[in-house]
C-alpha cells in the first residue's frame, strides 16, 4: 500500500472509532469534528456543573388565561408530589410575636431525614416572619418554593371566610410575596402559584396571566388543616393517591399540628406500594414532555 493510501485508511479507521464513541455514554447532541480539520480536545461537560433546566410551566389556557394544574399523568409511573402550604396572614404578626407557631421546622427536618422531595407554597408574610427557615428551604435542592400570595387573602369571594384582595391588585399581591422571598434570601423559586383556599375564577386567572405562572391545585386533600387525628389524615391521603397525584398539606404547626405524624405513616407506606416522591415541577415536566 502506498504512503497516501495508508494515510487515508488510518484516517478512516480513526473517524469510525471516534464516531462509535458518541453513542456510548454521550449526551446525544454532541458531534465529533473530523480529525483532519480540528485536532483540539473536545471540551468535557460535567453534569454536576451543568445549569439546571428552568422549571416548566403549562401553556396558557383559553383566552391566554393562567393555566391550572391539579395532577400529573396517570400513566407515567408511580409518582406522587407532596405539597405543603406555609400559611400566614398579614394580621397574624401579633399572634406570632406572642408565641403562636406558624412554622413547622420538625416537619421540614422529617422530610430531609426521609429524603422526600416536596414543593412548599409559601406566603410572603411567612417568609418575613421566618426568613432563616425560608432561606434554608429555598437553598435545599430537595425542595422548591412557590408563591402562595403575600397575606393569604382570597382572590375570589366567598372563600372559607377569608378576607379578599378586593379593591387591591391581585398581581401586586403576588409580586409583594416574591419581593418578600428575595428579601429573605430565598435563592430558588418556581413559577407556580397556589390560590389561598384554592379559590379562583376567570378574573383571578386573567389577573395572573402576565406573571406567566401555573396555578397549582391538587387531586388529594389530606384534611390536615386543624386536624387532631394523624391516623385519619394518613388514611385519607393513602386512600386517595393515584399515579401522578398531587397532595395538599400544610407546614403550619398552629393550624395543622398532626401533619408531621401523618407524614411518618404516609411516606413509608407509599414507598412500600412502589411510589416515588417528586416535586411539582417534575409532574409538570412529565405532563409537558
DSSP type of residue 283: H
Predicted confidence band of residue 167 (pLDDT cuts 50, 70, 90): low
Query: In the predicted model, is pLDDT for residue 276 greater than 70?
Result: yes
The region, left, alpha or beta by phi > 0 then psi within -120 to 50, assigned to residue 274 is left
Domains observed in the chain: 66-288 (3.20.20.370)
168 pLDDT tier (thresholds 50, 70, 90) = confident
State the average pLDDT for the chain: 86
The model's pLDDT over 208-236, given as tens digits with 9 standing for 90+, comes to 999 999 999 999 999 999 999 999 999 99
The neighbouring-strand residues paired with 221 are 248
Share of the chain above pLDDT 70, in %: 82
Residue 192, all three cell numbers: 407556580
Which of 258, 265, 248 lies closest to 83, judged by CA? Answer: 248
Neighbour tally for 169: CB within 10 Å: 11
Q: How confident is the model at residue 24 (pLDDT cuts 50, 70, 90)?
A: very low
Assess contact for 275 and 82: CB atoms under 8 A. no
The yes-or-no verdict on residue 164 having pLDDT over 80 is yes
Q: What is the share, in percent, of the chain residues with pLDDT greater than 90?
A: 78
Residue 104 has pLDDT above 80, yes or no: yes
Q: Say yes or no to pLDDT of 26 above 70.
A: no
Rg value, the chain, Cα: 24
Task: Tell me the whole-structure pTM to 2 decimals.
Answer: 0.82
pLDDT at 130 over 50: yes
Q: What is the mean pLDDT of residues 76-91?
A: 95
pLDDT of 23 reads 32
pLDDT in tens, 34-80: 333 333 333 334 344 456 789 999 999 999 999 999 999 999 899 99
Provide mean pLDDT across the span 186-197. 96
Q: Compute the distance between CA of residue 66 and CA of residue 52 in angstroms, rounded to an integer.
A: 24
- Rounded Cα distance, 86 and 120, in Å: 7
- The better pLDDT of the pair 48, 118 is held by 118
Q: How far apart are CA 177 and CA 150, in angstroms?
A: 4
Residue 131: count other Cβ atoms within 10 Å of its Cβ. Answer: 16
Residues shown for the chain = 289
Return d(Cα 224, Cα 173) in angstroms, integer. 26
Q: What pLDDT was estimated at residue 30?
A: 31
Cβ atoms of 183 and 154 within 8 Å: the answer is no
What's the rounded Cα separation, in Å, for the pair 146 and 57? 12
| 22 touches 31 (CB < 8 A) | yes
Which of the two residues, 42 and 264, has the higher pLDDT score?
264
Examine the pLDDT at 9 and tell me if it is beyond 80: no
Amino acid at each position: 500500500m502506498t504512503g497516501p493510501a495508508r494515510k487515508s485508511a488510518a484516517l478512516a479507521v480513526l473517524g469510525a472509532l471516534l464516531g462509535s464513541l458518541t453513542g456510548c455514554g454521550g449526551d446525544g447532541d454532541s458531534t465529533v469534528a473530523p480529525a483532519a480539520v480540528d485536532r483540539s480536545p473536545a471540551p468535557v461537560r460535567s453534569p454536576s456543573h451543568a445549569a439546571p433546566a428552568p422549571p416548566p410551566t403549562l401553556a396558557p389556557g383559553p383566552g391566554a388565561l393562567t393555566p391550572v394544574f391539579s395532577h400529573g399523568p396517570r400513566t407515567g409511573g408511580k409518582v406522587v408530589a407532596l405539597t405543603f402550604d406555609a400559611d400566614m396572614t398579614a394580621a397574624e404578626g401579633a399572634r406570632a410575636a406572642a408565641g403562636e407557631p406558624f412554622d413547622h421546622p420538625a416537619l421540614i427536618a422529617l422530610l430531609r431525614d426521609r429524603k422526600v422531595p416536596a414543593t412548599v407554597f409559601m406566603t410572603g408574610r411567612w417568609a418575613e416572619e421566618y426568613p432563616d427557615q425560608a432561606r434554608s428551604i429555598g437553598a435545599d435542592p430537595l425542595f422548591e418554593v412557590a408563591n402562595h400570595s403575600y397575606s393569604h387573602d382570597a382572590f375570589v369571594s366567598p372563600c372559607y371566610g377569608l378576607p379578599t384582595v378586593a379593591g387591591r391588585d391581585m398581581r401586586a399581591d403576588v409580586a409583594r410575596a416574591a419581593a418578600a422571598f428575595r428579601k429573605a434570601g430565598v435563592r430558588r423559586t418556581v413559577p407556580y402559584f397556589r390560590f389561598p383556599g384554592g379559590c379562583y375564577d376567570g378574573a383571578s386567572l386573567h389577573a395572573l396571566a402576565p406573571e406567566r405562572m401555573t396555578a397549582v391545585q391538587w387531586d388529594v386533600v389530606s384534611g390536615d388543616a386543624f386536624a387532631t387525628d394523624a391516623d385519619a389524615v394518613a388514611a385519607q391521603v393513602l386512600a386517595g393517591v393515584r399515579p401522578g397525584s398531587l397532595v395538599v398539606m400544610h407546614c403550619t404547626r398552629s393550624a395543622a399540628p398532626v401533619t408531621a405524624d401523618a407524614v411518618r405513616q404516609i411516606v413509608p407506606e407509599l414507598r412500600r406500594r412502589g411510589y416515588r416522591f417528586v416535586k411539582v415541577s417534575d409532574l409538570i415536566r412529565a405532563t409537558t414532555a
